[in-house]
């Protein structure tokens, strides 16, 4: 019997799977180290869910991004709504889709610009934005936590970091939404073209009038006389903007959801806001906001968890599943801000480890601390058990989150 026949093909990434994400991943993790599955678009993927396999996979060079194969898959199926050729040729050719040596080269250049010092210098500004958003929420009987707080904070931070002017921020949110969620291929192609053009103009402006922002630093970044080409810059800025728009947002919202579902945890945080650091790590582990999984390709035949996988196959690395593996995290389905969540893989692992982790943590710590201090009696305005998740392979976030701030 071949490995293909050894496993039942079941749909994955359909709306029902995402709605019940952790339970479905748990079924797979308990049953088998590798589960062969089909996507709604008809692709076949090999899903891995156990912590040790996931960590090992992310550090294994035989599991690669292989950009040409990714482009074929994007074009064919995986992100069928992501804007066609325009998207594949420009925006999607960023370092997250690359292997060494291209990845190494690009990452080195961006790390030079996106320094720890630059992120730390943002702290007062992040605090200021947080305070202003909380001020706006005060006195309102009901707000959507996503629209009023969780979205605007990281969007404003990443836009300022990259020097995107205020008049274009709504357009950016619209383009990003279309590219990640849209079902209309033509609409996505238009968004990709408009976004590429705007990014090209932005880069041109920075060349003429350098500022004290990340984009200027990226334009200027050099290493052994190497620098980013215009095409690489556009793809890099696209990656940073999308990552900056769609990640911390859901970390804040998903985290607050679990704190409100577990009132004793909210009370503990309220009593001691210093617990915020551990709380954010637990929020990342328990219900990571982005990429409940990430994909890789087998560069050659290989064996994972005793299962043989042929070359050129798509492996879905289940980050959210690994973070709930009972072998690694005792009682994994218990949300506990006091636990040691160290070692979670919400930010990935290995050469593609999240470049924005420090920024995401800074934003989430500030946001959560501000929220619990300003609105200690924050309450959900809808049923906490019956929330709707967005349907996306990349993002694990709520569709809406109505709350009473006072
Ligand atoms: C990569 C998660 C926020 C920029 C990644 C990866 C994960 C991740 C899992 C690795 C994907 C893979 O291996 O295939 C998260 C989470 C975030 C977050 C959970 C928030 C809570 C951010 C922010 C930025 C950012 C705010 C930038 C402003 C990036 C970049 C990469 C990346 C540039 C690619 C790194 C590479 O290919 O070398 N992120 N991210 N992320 N992230 Fe994040």
For the stretch 41-82, pLDDT in tens is 777 889 999 999 999 999 999 999 876 666 566 555 544 444
pLDDT score recorded for residue 72: 62
Residue 326 has pLDDT above 90, yes or no: yes
Pocket of ligand 1 (CB under 6 A): 95-96, 107, 158, 239-240, 243-244, 247-248, 251, 288-291, 294, 319, 346-348, 352, 354-356, 359-360
Residue 178 has pLDDT above 80, yes or no: no
List the single range of 77-86, 89-98, 287-296 with lowest mean pLDDT: 77-86
pTM tops 0.80: yes
Long-range contacts made by residues 118-125, C-beta under 8 angstroms, separation at least 24? 118/161, 118/214, 118/217, 119/358, 119/359, 119/362, 120/358, 120/362, 122/157, 122/161, 122/359, 122/362, 123/362, 123/366, 125/157, 125/160
Task: Compute, in angstroms, the gap from residue 347 CA to the centroid of ligand 1.
Answer: 6
pLDDT bin (cut points 50, 70, 90) of residue 253 is very high
pLDDT at residue number 327: 97
Q: For residue 316, what are the β-bridge partners?
A: 47, 295
Closest residue to atom 27 of ligand 1, CA basis: 356
All structural domains of the chain with their residue ranges: 10-404
Mean pLDDT of 239-258: 89
CATH assignment, 10-404: 1.10.630.10
Instruction: List, in order, residues 6 or more apart from 226 with CB less than 8 Å away.
Output: 105, 109
Distance CA 134, CA 137 (A): 5
pLDDT tens digit string along 331-343?
999 999 999 999 9
Distance from the alpha carbon of residue 235 to the mean position of ligand 1, in angstroms: 14
Q: What is the pLDDT of residues 186-212, one digit of tens each?
A: 777 788 888 888 889 989 988 999 988
Name the region of 39 (left: φ>0; alpha: ψ -120 to 50; beta: rest): beta
pLDDT (0 to 100) of residue 75? 55
What's the pLDDT at 179?
A: 75
Q: Which residue, chain included where needed, has tokens 């994007």?
A: 74
The region, left, alpha or beta by phi > 0 then psi within -120 to 50, assigned to residue 295 is: beta
Q: Which residue has the higher pLDDT, 47 or 97?
A: 47
Strand pairing category for 34-38 and 10-11: parallel
Q: Using only C-alpha atoms, what is the Rg of the chain? A: 21
> Mind listing the pLDDT tens digit for each residue in 134-158?
999 998 999 999 999 999 999 889 8
pLDDT tens, residue by residue, 359-405 = 999 999 999 999 999 999 999 998 898 888 876 667 788 989 999 99
Q: Cα(126)–Cα(156) distance, rounded to whole angstroms?
A: 9
Query: Which of 11-15, 104-108, 297-301, 305-309 has the least mean pLDDT?
Result: 11-15
Longest alpha-carbon distance in the chain: 66
Q: Which atom of ligand 1 is nearest to the CA of 351?
A: 38
What sections of 262-306 are H helices per DSSP? 263-271, 276-287
Q: Which residues contact 313 (CB under 8 A, 6 or more apart)?
A: 44, 45, 46, 297, 298
Look-up of token digits 């309220």: 270
Residue nearest to atom 17 of ligand 1 (CA): 247
Q: Mean pLDDT of all residues in the chain?
A: 86
């Amino acid at each position: 019997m071949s490995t293909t026949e050894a496993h039942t093909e079941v749909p994955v990434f359909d709306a029902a799977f995402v709605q019940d994400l952790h339970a479905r991943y748990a079924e797979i993790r308990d049953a088998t180290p590798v589960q062969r599955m089909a996507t709604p678009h008809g692709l076949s993927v090999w899903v891995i869910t156990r912590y040790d396999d996931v960590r090992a996979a992310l550090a294994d060079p035989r599991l690669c991004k292989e950009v040409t194969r990714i482009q074929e898959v994007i074009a064919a199926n995986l992100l069928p709504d992501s804007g066609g050729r325009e998207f594949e040729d420009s925006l999607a050719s960023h370092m997250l889709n690359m292997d060494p040596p291209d990845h190494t080269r690009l990452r080195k250049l961006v790390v030079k610009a996106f320094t720890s010092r630059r992120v730390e210098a943002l702290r007062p500004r992040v605090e200021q934005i947080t305070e202003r958003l909380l001020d706006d929420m005060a006195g309102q009987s009901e707000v959507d936590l996503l629209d009023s707080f969780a979205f605007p904070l990281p969007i404003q931070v990443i836009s300022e970091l990259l020097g995107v002017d205020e008049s274009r921020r709504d357009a950016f949110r619209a383009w990003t939404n279309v590219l990640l969620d849209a079902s209309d291929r033509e609409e996505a192609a238009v968004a990709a073209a408009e976004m590429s053009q705007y990014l090209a103009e932005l880069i041109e402006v920075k060349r003429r009038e350098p500022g004290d922002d990340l984009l200027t630093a990226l334009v200027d970044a050099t290493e052994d006389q190497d620098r980013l080409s215009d095409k690489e810059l556009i793809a890099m800025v696209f990656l940073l903007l999308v990552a900056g728009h769609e990640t911390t947002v859901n970390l804040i919202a998903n985290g607050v959801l679990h704190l409100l579902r577990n009132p004793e945890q909210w009370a503990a945080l309220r009593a001691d806001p210093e617990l915020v650091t551990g709380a954010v790590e637990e929020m990342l582990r328990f219900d990571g906001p982005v990429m409940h999984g990430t994909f890789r390709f087998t560069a050659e035949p290989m064996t994972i968890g005793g299962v043989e996988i042929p070359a050129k196959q798509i492996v879905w690395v289940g980050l959210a599943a690994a973070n709930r593996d009972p072998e690694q995290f005792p009682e994994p389905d218990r949300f506990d801000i006091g636990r040691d969540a160290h070692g979670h893989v919400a930010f990935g692992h290995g050469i593609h480890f999240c470049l924005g982790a420090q920024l995401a943590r800074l934003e989430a710590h500030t946001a959560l601390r501000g929220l619990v201090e300003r609105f200690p009696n924050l309450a959900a305005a809808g049923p906490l058990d019956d929330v709707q998740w967005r349907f996306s392979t990349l993002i694990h976030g709520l569709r809406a989150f109505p709350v009473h701030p006072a």
